[in-house]
Amino acid sequence: MINETKIGKIIHGVRGEKSVDIMKVKSAIKSVAQMMLDNKEITECDINPLVVSEDNNIFAVDVRIKC
């Protein structure tokens, strides 16, 4: 499904940029989903942006969680 989005094209590298490790991106998404499943009091979670560094480390710049 990621590949069908606008960001999917960017993840695979555009305009001379390196591609990123798609498995790490998927793992980050799955971890957030699992956090929400494990904590039923969470009603919303907004991560913007999720950044992938040049060495394929992933971090969230801004996160808002609503309970």
Q: How far, in Å, CA of 45 to CA of 64, rounded?
A: 6
What backbone phi and psi angles, to 5 degrees, belong to 47?
A: -120, 115
Show the domain range for 41: 2-66
Q: What is the pLDDT along the chain (67 residues), one digit of tens a residue?
A: 888 888 888 888 888 888 889 999 999 999 999 999 999 999 999 999 999 998 889 999 999 999 9
Domain total of the chain: 1
CB burial of 31-59 (b: ≥16 within 10 Å; e: otherwise) equals ebeeeeeeeeeeeeeebeebebeeeeebe
- pTM equals 0.80
Residue 32: predicted pLDDT: 96
Residue 43: predicted pLDDT: 96
Q: How far, in Å, CA of 32 to CA of 44, rounded?
A: 11
